[in-house]
């Protein structure tokens, strides 16, 4: 894929009409907010399209266009302001990104985002990537079946059960997923999900979870962070461990190669996160199964803000603007703790202020709050990065912080 003629977009430039170089983002949540901060630090103006007048990214940006994601006037306003546009979440309508791309570069493009929006397309993409690339040898999807019709439900092979039934669209943070034990449970679960298109995945003996974040430019140049290990609680990321030795080197190399292959297969432009399961297969280190991809920066990459010389959001800016992609260097081992709304609620559900005095007194703690005005159970309110000179000290501090804040997910850390 060749770069559009308007690239690269250099920061701090002003056009003949007096317009500052402006980068736009579809979506106003925390990922958009951190993108805005990275772009502004480089000297760009920023614009956010999000219907929420109190969106975290909108409140931090030069321009906030308060319309729906498919609103034609809002899209025209955004494309008129911006030299390039990105997205902060995968459920922005692909058609809106197509409309924007008529007027300015959009990264990632509508086709890539559409794949990530639909688990059926996503599975097909992973399968095609593996078939066409020897790099992904030994890395596959979990065995699965597509269920869109009663006939497909009846034809599900018995060896896919027990399994996890997932809606093809709009599923994230554990939403739209049901564990099923047998054929009767599968039929009941599909009925409960209103018989929307779904994917049934075979339940596998899970050993660990990991993810890889890559950034790919318009000319196919690609850089990456080392794979990070993740712990989820109730389907939501709780802990990310990022340091040398967090997983066997051979397994880490395979995950990294597979993520790059997936990005290259569709000519991806931007930051991409690919999530993997490590499953028990009788070997010492286990086997890799590719789970899903996110066409944007990812919760598991937040540690890069404090542990690396270039963050995932810096790379998002560089990629969309056609700037060089520097290979990130991680200078400190790190652990990221996700902060959900429960941290602000006591056992009776009453609001209280977390003990930041105690948390911030711990060495190497970096608090990132997202500017959300209301804490709710399960809502991502912020994260805490812990860095240090060595893995042992980082783990010790993370345990202390987790204990102070009452965070789950630390049993194995």
Is residue 146 a contact partner of residue 153, using CB atoms and an 8 Å limit? no
Q: Is 185 annotated as a binding residue?
A: no
Sign, Cα dihedral of 199, 200, 202, 206: positive
Q: Cα separation of 383 and 339, whole Å?
A: 5
Residue-by-residue DSSP string for 231-289: EEETTEEEEEEESTTSS-HHHHHHHHHHHHHHHHHTT--EEEEEEEEEE--SSSS-EEE
Q: Cα separation of 144 and 180, whole Å?
A: 13
Torsion of CA 263, 313, 243, 406, to 10 degrees: -120
Residue-by-residue DSSP string for 83-114: SEEEESSTTS-HHHHHHHHTTS-BSS-HHHHH
Q: Cα separation of 355 and 344, whole Å?
A: 10
Q: Is 228 annotated as a binding residue?
A: no
Please count the other Cβ atoms lying within 10 Å of the Cβ belonging to residue 352: 11
Is residue 80 a contact partner of residue 101, using CB atoms and an 8 Å limit? no
Q: Is 345 exposed, middle or buried (0-12, 13-18, 19+ CB in 10 A)?
A: middle
Q: Is 148 annotated as a binding residue?
A: no
Q: Is 209 annotated as a binding residue?
A: yes
Q: Is 95 annotated as a binding residue?
A: no
Q: Is 175 annotated as a binding residue?
A: yes
Is residue 215 a contact partner of residue 270, using CB atoms and an 8 Å limit? yes
Q: Is 275 annotated as a binding residue?
A: no
Is residue 215 a contact partner of residue 172, using CB atoms and an 8 Å limit? no
Q: Is 245 annotated as a binding residue?
A: no
Contacts of 397 (CB under 8 A, 6+ apart): 362, 363, 364, 365, 386, 388
Q: Is 299 annotated as a binding residue?
A: no
Q: Is 171 annotated as a binding residue?
A: yes
The three-state secondary structure class of 370 is coil
Q: Is 323 annotated as a binding residue?
A: no
Q: Is 395 annotated as a binding residue?
A: no
Is residue 210 a contact partner of residue 276, using CB atoms and an 8 Å limit? yes
Q: Is 154 annotated as a binding residue?
A: no
Structure tokens at 98: 């197509």
Q: Is 181 annotated as a binding residue?
A: no
Please count the other Cβ atoms lying within 10 Å of the Cβ belonging to residue 215: 29
Distances (CA, A) of 351 to 58, 354, 371, 374: 25, 9, 16, 10
Q: Is 364 annotated as a binding residue?
A: no
Look at residues 107, 407, 405, 42 and name the one whose alpha carbon lies nearest to residue 272: 107
Residues in the annotated binding site: 119, 166, 171-177, 201-204, 209, 232, 291-292
Residues in the annotated binding site for ATP: 119, 166, 171-177, 201-204, 209, 232, 291-292
């Amino acid at each position: 894929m060749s770069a559009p003629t308007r690239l690269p977009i250099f920061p701090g430039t002003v056009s003949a009409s007096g317009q500052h170089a402006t980068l736009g983002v579809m979506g106003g949540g925390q990922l958009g907010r951190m993108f805005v901060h990275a772009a502004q630090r480089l000297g760009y103006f920023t614009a956010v399209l999000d219907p929420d007048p109190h969106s975290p990214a909108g409140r931090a940006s030069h321009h906030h266009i308060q319309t729906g994601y498919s609103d034609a006037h809002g899209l025209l306003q955004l494309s008129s302001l911006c030299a390039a546009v990105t997205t902060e979440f995968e459920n922005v309508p692909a058609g809106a990104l197509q409309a924007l791309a008529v007027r300015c570069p959009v990264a990632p493009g509508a086709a890539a985002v559409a794949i990530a929006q639909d688990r059926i397309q996503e599975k097909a993409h992973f399968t095609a990537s593996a078939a066409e690339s020897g790099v992904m040898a030994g890395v596959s999807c979990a065995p699965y079946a597509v269920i869109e019709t009663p006939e497909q439900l009846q034809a599900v092979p018995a060896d896919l059960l027990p399994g996890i039934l997932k809606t093809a669209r709009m599923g994230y943070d554990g939403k739209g997923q049901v564990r099923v034990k047998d054929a009767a449970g599968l039929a009941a679960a599909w009925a409960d999900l209103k018989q929307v298109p779904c994917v049934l995945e075979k339940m596998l003996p899970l050993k660990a979870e990991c993810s890889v974040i890559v950034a790919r430019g318009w000319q196919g140049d690609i850089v990456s962070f080392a794979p990070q290990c993740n712990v989820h609680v109730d389907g939501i990321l709780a802990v990310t461990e990022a340091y040398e030795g967090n997983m066997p080197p051979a397994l880490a190399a395979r995950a990294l190669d597979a993520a790059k292959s997936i990005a290259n297969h569709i000519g991806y432009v931007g930051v991409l996160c690919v999530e993997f399961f490590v499953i028990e297969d009788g070997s010492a280190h286990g086997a890799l199964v590719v789970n899903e991809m996110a066409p944007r920066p990812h919760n598991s990459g937040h540690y890069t803000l404090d542990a690396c010389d270039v963050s995932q959001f810096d790379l998002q800016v560089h990629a969309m603007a056609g700037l060089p992609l520097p290979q990130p260097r991680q200078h400190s081992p790190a652990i990221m703790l996700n902060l959900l709304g429960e941290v602000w609620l006591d056992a009776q559900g009453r609001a209280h202020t977390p003990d930041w005095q105690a948390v911030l007194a711990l060495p190497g703690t970096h608090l990132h709050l997202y500017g959300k005005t209301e804490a709710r159970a399960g809502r991502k309110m912020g994260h805490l990065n812990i860095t240090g000179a060595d893995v042992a000290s980082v783990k010790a501090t993370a345990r202390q912080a987790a204990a102070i804040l009452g965070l789950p997910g630390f049993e194995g850390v």
